[in-house]
Amino acid sequence: MIRSLLLFVLLSISLPSMAIQADTSAYQFQRLKINGLLAERSAKFGQYDLSLNARTGIFGLQTKNDLRNSNEILRGIILSDNNIFRELKVLMNYKDQEVQQVQSNASSTNKRIEAYMLTIKKLQQQNDELKAQTAQVAEKKDTSTYLIIVLSVIIVGWGIYSLSRVRRNA
């Protein structure tokens, strides 16, 4: 019985920690994904900077194709930024979920502690009541013992008195 109870307690403690580890690994994966997107954006920005300096036209001027290429790279940067914002939102949702989980764990822990304190208080009151009852029983036992002794002395005294009276009369 105790082993099964101990096993149940250990399993109930380990399940939330497994969930936290899964959340943490998802959070870490999301961070790595965002870091990859940021590196990709940085590379695109470097390409954009190079495309702005590219001058393939006559007399070293930029051509229409150079401007289109720069605009396409800039459009790619904007799309990367949108992806980064979307992934950051997911990351923040993970963080919010983690905070809510910590708050709910703290709340449930506080409730359990309060329940334990209430149980301890009830048990202490029961213990005090049992001590008082034990003292009353001991007091009644002492009173009963004294009463039995007194009655025994009276009966023995009456018996001796009756016996001596019978012997005197005989």
- What DSSP assignment string belongs to 89-105? HHHHHHHHHHHHHHHHH
pLDDT for 118 equals 96
pLDDT for 19 equals 46
| Two structure tokens written together for 63 | 């051509």
Judge whether residue 27 has pLDDT over 90. no
Instruction: Give the whole-angstrom CA distance, residue 92 versus residue 141.
Output: 72
Judge whether residue 126 has pLDDT over 70. yes
pLDDT for 22 equals 54
Residues in the chain: 170
> How many CB atoms sit inside 10 A of residue 87's CB?
18
Stretch 6-23: mean pLDDT, rounded? 52
pLDDT for 11 equals 54
Instruction: Give the whole-angstrom CA distance, residue 46 versus residue 54.
Output: 12
Q: Which residues of 35-52 are buried (b: 16+ CB within 10 A; e: fewer)?
A: eebeeebeebeebbeebe
Q: How wide is the angle at C-alpha 28 spanned by C-alphas 17 and 93, nearest 5°?
A: 80
Confidence band of 2 (pLDDT split at 50, 70, 90): low
- Helices 64-169 and 2-53, interaxial angle, to 10°? 170
Domains of the chain by residue range: 2-138
pLDDT for 7 equals 52
| Residue scoring higher pLDDT (13 or 130) | 130
Q: pLDDT digits over 52-100, tens only?
A: 887 777 766 778 888 888 899 999 999 999 999 999 999 999 889 889 9
Confidence band of 51 (pLDDT split at 50, 70, 90): confident
Q: pLDDT digits over 141-161, tens only?
A: 888 888 889 999 999 999 999
Asked if 26 contacts 94 with a C-beta cutoff of 8 angstroms, the reply is: yes
| Residue scoring higher pLDDT (48 or 111) | 111
pLDDT for 122 equals 96
pLDDT for 6 equals 47
Rg (CA), the chain: 45
Cα–chain center distance at 16: 8
Instruction: Give the whole-angstrom CA distance, residue 73 versus residue 81.
Output: 12
Instruction: Give the whole-angstrom CA distance, residue 3 versus residue 9.
Output: 10
